[in-house]
Structure 1
Amino acid sequence: MDRNWMYDRYYDGKRGEIKEIFKLGVALFLKAAKRSNIVISEGGIRCPCASCDCRWIRSEDEIKYDLYTKGFRPNYWIWTSHGETIMSDPPASSATNFGAVYQGSSSSSAPIVPAQNYQHYPLNEMNHMITDALGIDTNEPLFEDSTDSKLTVCVRLLGIKCNFLIPELAMDAIAKLVLDTTPIYARSDFPRTYYEAKQLVSKLGLGVKRIHCCINGCMLFYNNEFGVNDGDLVQCKFCQEPRYRQTKNSRSKRGKPVPRQAMFYLPIVSRSGELRHPSDGLAWKHFDQVNPDFASDPRNVRLGLCSDGFTLYTQASATPYSCWPIIVTPYNLPPEMCMSKPYMFLAAVILGPSSPTVGIDIYLQPLVDDLKRLWEGVVTYDISRKQISS
């Protein structure tokens, strides 16, 4: 029995009526889960519904109710949280386009259509690639009997700092305390400060670029592979305004000239993952008709761009100063997920003091370049299937 039933709960045109094959599949899932060593060791079954996401242990009746009402978590073909490893043949989907994601108003996600240009890529070889890129062994434990590596600890510490707004000096003190009171102190290569941890994690490709801008928003001073070579200009080629601040003493020696205006860009190519389409909508259907090749591969990402300004330092300064974040969100995800915090990619930050208004397209050039690269094809690795595609 294949697993297409996992994302096909309702009868067509009969909202709320669960298909018998879905009920049978849920019963088989519970029967298989109860026999797994993971469930036996944990003392219960983790609920795989879209809400619980395998985080909470529930009773069989609660799991059955959640699956009937909320559906399985997205793309949970391999029941890894319930004792399964890797399936020999990934289940085929009956959906042939993006329009078959939902049945009625179901919140469950559609199965991903196995792409034809996937090629198998061994997990051990992938680990070696990560090791070579980061210069560290991602699987090497910090000390004997430890389940964490140097990379995972750094990522977790940086996550704690961001979530709780901990100052850098406090993070340095916490890191020193951890090093002094655990066997990690014996490792000379472990990051000692927040800066060193950030440098290590930055090798994952989650960096930020600072791009100089014209003070009037006419252009960006940067280069790309699409014909723009303005990185060495010292004045705007449209309004002739200087790129850098003018100093009173032109002969004074400085390390680097200070730009009059700059923006921050966070590349999205390195952060794009495996996403899904919400279902319908005239815009998507029209796009599918105009670009049938793009629509035929469900792994292709459809991004939505949004931005809004807010005023900084409202109490500290009488002069308004706005900041405009540029956010990219994948519309491939279900509606309740695509605009949630984990799936909103901060792509750029446009500094004030006023809004970019009609000149915002100038500041979007680096993002458009990344979108062009994605359109031409970027090699990605599907960790759930252990395969690479482009």
Structure 2
Amino acid sequence: MDAFFEDISANNVPTPPTQTTGPQPAQTTGPNNEFEELLSRSTQKLYPGCDMTTLEFTTEISHIKALHKITDAGFNKILALLQKACSPSKGYNFPSSYYEIKKTYKKIGLGYESIHACINDCFLFWGSEDNLKMPNCPICKASRWKDPKKTKGKKVANKVVRYFPLTPRLQRMFNTKHIAKWMTWHATGQSKENGKMNHPCDGKAWKYFDMMKPEFSGDPRNVRLGLAADGFNPFGMMSQNYSMWPVILTTYNTPPSMCMKETSLMLTMLIPGPKSPAKDIDVYLQPLIKEIQELWKGVWTKDSATNTLFQMKAAVLWTINHFSARSSLSGWSGQGYYACPTCNEGTPSMAVKSKIVYVGHRRFLRTKHPLRSKFKEFYGNPESKPKPRNFTEMDIQLQISKVFKCFPGKHPDIAKKP
């Protein structure tokens, strides 16, 4: 944490970009009060003669709160006791409350947005002013709020999505010198051995993307992302039927030793349960998709490695998930006669005693392969069919154009629709 502030404070005044096109970022005047406050905390000692800074103490005590599941009220009482025992008049600099700590994290870029959602996964009360003020879901008419008889004080939303903005975290990677210098590694760290893959930048998908989008790949600082999503039980009890879905992004600009570290995995969204969002995950991904679209156009960012400003762009190259989660993210069902997204309508499947099984994989062998002619070992039939054809982008778009209108949500009236 302190290394981050040392890096950005050493280069607090960015130099204008030397070779950039398009509109220049607006120049700000006057001191940045929030930055100055954070910088002072990163250098301010907890008390005279102490080796720990105020920011280090704040981080450590917040970690203890999370590990031991201390409530906010209990945590505030601990801080109040510290304030009473070690008053600021004696030179001690303890945070006054957990609310103050959260405000500090939000200034660093570690905050999140709370977005209300329909209890039936139909709609997000997000975006326009009209959406933010709606008391009921416009699709299934369910109330946005919990029963006031069961809650005290202000209204409580039935379902809340936590969204962690992506742009400030990507910018912070370039604001830190020891990370910024590795954000262009993929352009020079490709494997020198033919056919050997040490990093995704050695793969065909990466190279094909570079060929199709030369304006993006022209600047190696542009960020390549992978998206992963899956459900888990946050309560650790398998008997409790609850599924929460985190959505995680990781950057692939850095070498393998960095991009797969836990510190490189960025939580961008927490989709609450109790049930899996399934096909309605598209409803929840709207804020993330909108931000990624903005990042595709570019945002001005300070590069501490070169001490210049540039327009940082980002693109999601692929998703990482098992087959069930893939069904939710892609919209292609992982069940039924056409479960294979690669084979598409040519999926080798058949019904066996009310079950659908996937057979006929000998189709992928060469035409005169000896296994094709054997039948005793393979449900009594030789294999003469060719492998399923490759589906072009135009073929897929034509299939999508034939899909009937889908209604999001799990309301009983909507669930009855085909």
Q: Is residue 371 from structure 1 mapped to residue 292 from structure 2 by the alignment? A: yes
**AA paired with 2:273?**
G
* Secondary structure at 2:279 match in 1: helix
Contact 1:205/1:270 (<8 A) preserved: yes
CA spacing shift, 1:178–1:323, aligned 2, 3 Å: same
Partner of 2:235: 313
| 1:291 matched to 2:213 | yes
SS state of the match for residue 131, structure 2?
Answer: coil
Name the residue aligned to 1:137: 40
Deviation digits for residues 16-59 of structure 1 (CA, Å, limit 9, x no counterpart): xxxxxxxxxxxxxxxxxxxxxxxxxxxxxxxxxxxxxxxxxxxx
Does 2:134 correspond to 1:212? no
- Pairing of 1:223-238 with structure 2 (within 5 A): 223=127, 230-238=131-139
Provide structure 2 residue ranges, at least 5 long, that are not aligned to the other structure: 1-6, 12-16, 22-27, 175-182, 187-198, 312-418
Task: Measure, in 2, the Cα distance between the counterparts of 1:285 and 1:339.
Answer: 20
Match for 1:286: what amino acid? Y
* Distance 1:265-1:284 versus aligned 2 partners, 3 A rule: same
Amino acid of the structure 1 residue aligned with 2:105? V
**Separation (CA, whole Å) in 2 of partners of 1:186 and 1:146:** 13
Q: Secondary structure at the match of 2:226?
A: strand
For 1:199 and 1:280, locate their aligned partners in 2 and report how far apart those are by CA, in whole Å: 42
Quote the offset at 1:370 in angstroms.
1.8
Answer yes or no: is 1:266 the counterpart of 2:167.
no
Deviating more after overlay: 367-376 vs 132-141? 132-141
The match for 2:96 is 192
Whether contact under 8 Å (1:323, 1:353) holds in the other structure is: yes
Q: CA deviation at 1:281?
A: 1.7
Letter of the structure 1 residue corresponding to residue 285 of structure 2: L
Q: Does 1:154 align with 2:58?
A: yes
In the superposition, the TM-score normalised over structure 1's length comes to 0.56
1:295 CA displacement: 0.5
| Residue equivalent to 1:243 | 144
Q: TM-score, normalised to structure 2's length?
A: 0.53
CA shift at 1:365, angstroms? 0.8
Return the letter of the residue paired with 1:256: K
Q: Using a 3 Å threshold, how does the CA distance of structure 1 residues 189 and 319 change in structure 2: closer, same or farther?
A: closer
Deviation per CA, 1:189-227, whole angstroms, max 9, x where unpaired?
641344332322322222111111122212211116xxx
Distance 2:29 2:65 in 1: 29
Partner of 2:254: 333
Structure 1 portions without partners, runs of 5+: 1-79, 87-113, 119-124
How far the C-alpha of 1:232 sits from its partner, in A, is 1.8
Q: What CA deviation, in whole Å up to 9, does each residue of 1:99-150 have, x standing for no partner?
A: xxxxxxxxxxxxxxx99449xxxxxx99953655647735653355666654
* Distance in 2 between residues matched to 1:115 and 1:327, nearest whole Å: 34
Quick one: which of 70, 94, 115 aligns to 1:167? 70
* Residue deviations 1:76-100 (CA, integer Å, cap 9, x gap): xxxx9xxxx99xxxxxxxxxxxxxx
Alignment of 1:173-184 (within 5 A): 173=78, 177=82, 180=85
1:262-286 deviations in Å (ceiling 9; x for gaps): 2111111111124343422222222
Q: CA deviation at 1:248?
A: 5.7
SS in 2 for 1:195: helix
> Aligned with 1:345: secondary structure?
strand
Deviation at 1:165, TM superposition (A): 3.9
> Which amino acid in the other structure matches residue 32 of structure 2?
M
Matches within 5 A, 1:275-286: 275-276=183-184, 277=186, 278=199, 279-286=201-208
Contact kept in structure 2, 1:172 and 1:194, CA below 8 Å: no
Asked if the contact 1:301–1:332 (Cα under 8 Å) also holds between the matched residues in 2, the reply is yes
CA contact (8 A) 1:151 1:200 kept: no
SS at match of 1:231: helix
In 1, Cα distance between equivalents of 2:162 and 2:154: 18
Based on CA coordinates, which of the two structures has the bigger radius of gyration? 2
Name the SS for the 2:99 alignment partner.
helix
Q: Does 1:256 align with 2:157?
A: no
User: For the residues of structure 2 that align with 1:135 and 1:332, how far apart are their CA atoms?
Assistant: 28
Q: Which amino acid aligns with 1:342?
A: T
Cα distance, 1:240 vs structure 2: 2.5
**In structure 1, distance between residues paired with 2:169 and 2:104:** 17
CA distance in 1, matches of 2:225, 2:18: 20
Residues 26-65 of structure 1: pairs in structure 2 closer than 5 A:
none
Q: How many pairs align? A: 265
Amino acid of the residue matched to residue 285 of structure 1? K
Root mean square deviation of aligned Cα: 3.9
The aligned residue for residue 222 of structure 1 is: 126
Identical-pair percentage: 34
- Post-superposition offset of 1:256: 2.9
Moved more, 234-243 or 304-313: 234-243
Contact 2:227–2:248 under 8 Å retained in 1: yes
Give the AA of the match of 1:291: K
1:317-373 deviations in Å (ceiling 9; x for gaps): 854111111111112223343232101111111111111111111111111122122
Shift of 1:171: 8.2
Q: What is the rounded CA distance, in whole Å, between the counterparts of 2:293 and 2:219 in structure 1? A: 17
Distance between the aligned counterparts of 1:324 and 1:151, measured in 2?
Answer: 31
> Aligned residue for 1:108?
none
